[in-house]
């Protein structure tokens, strides 16, 4: 005998609805669990943005503590290297008006090293960017340091507190960016500054640039070393001094070199053939306002109004 069992027909519409409801419930459960974990992670302090430590985009080494004084060697050319260690002018990438001056550049290096050796709390900075297309991505600052090393001028105890600043495109940036570099290395700002450059640029540095950043006059020292004007190889004294007078006048009415299409702004652009950017606005947040300040007086078209914000060396 054959027994036949007939199963009841399923309701296909009901089955589809039940499967859809089950899938939706599972998705909802996954979302709920995920939100729960995120909430717990945040409550337990896992959110990096709420950490007491300032988030950084990269890992940095330990700061060099105990340094209070900044010595800046302002760079004017690129040493290309060579057996003569800078004594042969052919080893330098220079402008025509700088012929006969390369020995002076070496004197600037020697003066910076000598001053830095006298005070163990000093950071020595060679400041100068990649200013010449003909030399490619070689900075003035690094070339001066390389020359100092080639001439065996920097002993081990000074080497640990010597660095380069490779973004400056003019004398104002030599000062401001070296201060910024000091902060990157030490985590603080300098209490005293010594600048080494040409003597004929004394007023530009000691008055105009110092006043623009409002660094205390009693804490700012300028050491000027001019070329040997009596040297027969240097016939440019009159034209150099005339050019400096014109440049100083330009800084006098544009303290921050910020007037669009003006002489100083155009020079700065021309000295950045590699289109280099710097990160000082990130590493020195206290100076962001100063970096961006112009102080342009619309009535006169000059920028003699000093930055009105708070500066760390005026605390």
C-alpha distances out from residue 311 to 59, 66, 191, 226, 233, Å: 27, 21, 12, 32, 45
Q: How far apart are CA 233 and CA 237, in angstroms?
A: 11
Q: Which of 111, 91, 110 is nearest to 102 (CA)?
A: 91
- CA–CA separation, 162 and 71 (whole Å): 10
Question: DSSP letters of 120-134?
Answer: TTEEEEEE-----GG
Return d(Cα 303, Cα 288) in angstroms, integer.
18
Burial class (CB in 10 A: 0-12, 13-18, 19+), 78: buried
What is the model's pLDDT at position 46? 46
Q: Rounded to the nearest 5 degrees, what angle is found at the Cα of 81, between the Cα atoms of 78 and 85?
A: 105
For residue 297, the model assigns a pLDDT of: 82
**Which pLDDT score is estimated for 311?**
97
What is the distance between the alpha carbons of residues 37 and 240, in angstroms, rounded to a whole number?
Answer: 70
The secondary structure of residue 230, as a DSSP letter, is T
Predicted local distance difference test score (pLDDT) of residue 15: 52
Backbone angles phi, psi at 127, to 5 degrees: -115, 125
The C-alpha atoms of residue 211 and residue 307 are separated, in whole angstroms, by 10
- pLDDT, position 181: 98
Distance (Å, whole) CA 313 – CA 315: 6
Give the global pTM. 0.81
> What residues of the chain score a pLDDT lower than 70?
1-58, 230-235
Q: For residue range 147-181, list pLDDT tens digits in order.
A: 999 999 999 999 999 999 999 999 999 999 999 99
Q: Which domains does the chain have, with CATH numbers?
A: 69-314 (3.40.50.620)
User: CB count, 10 Å around CB of 221?
Assistant: 15
CA distance 72 to 116: 10
């Amino acid at each position: 005998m054959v027994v036949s069992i007939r199963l009841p027909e399923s309701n296909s519409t009901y089955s589809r609805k039940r499967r859809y409801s089950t899938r939706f419930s599972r998705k909802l459960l996954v979302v709920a669990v995920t939100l729960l974990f995120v909430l717990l992670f945040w409550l337990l302090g896992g959110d990096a943005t709420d950490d007491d430590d300032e988030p950084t985009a990269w890992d940095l080494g330990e700061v060099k503590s105990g340094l209070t004084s900044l010595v800046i060697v302002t760079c004017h050319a690129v040493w290309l290297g060579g057996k003569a260690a800078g004594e042969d002018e052919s080893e330098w990438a220079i402008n025509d008006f700088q012929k006969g001056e390369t020995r002076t550049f070496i004197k600037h290096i020697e003066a910076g090293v000598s001053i830095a050796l006298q005070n163990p709390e000093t950071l020595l900075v060679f400041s100068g960017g990649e200013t010449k297309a003909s030399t490619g991505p070689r900075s003035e600052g690094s070339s001066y340091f390389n020359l100092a090393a080639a001439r065996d001028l920097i002993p081990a105890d000074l080497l640990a507190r010597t660095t380069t600043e490779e973004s400056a495109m003019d004398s104002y940036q030599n000062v401001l960016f070296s201060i910024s570099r000091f902060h990157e290395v030490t985590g603080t700002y300098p209490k005293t500054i010594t600048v080494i450059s040409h003597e004929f640029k004394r007023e530009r540095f000691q008055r105009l640039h110092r006043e623009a950043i409002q660094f205390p006059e009693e804490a700012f020292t300028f050491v000027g070393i001019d070329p040997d004007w009596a040297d027969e190889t240097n016939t440019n004294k009159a034209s150099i001094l005339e050019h400096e007078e014109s440049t100083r006048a330009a800084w006098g009415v544009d303290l921050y070199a910020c007037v669009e299409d003006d002489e100083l702004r155009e020079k700065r652009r021309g000295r950045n053939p590699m289109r280099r950017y710097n990160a000082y606005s990130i590493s020195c947040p206290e100076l962001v306002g100063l970096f961006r300040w112009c102080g342009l007086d619309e009535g006169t078209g000059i920028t003699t109004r000093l930055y009105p914000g708070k500066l760390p060396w005026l605390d």
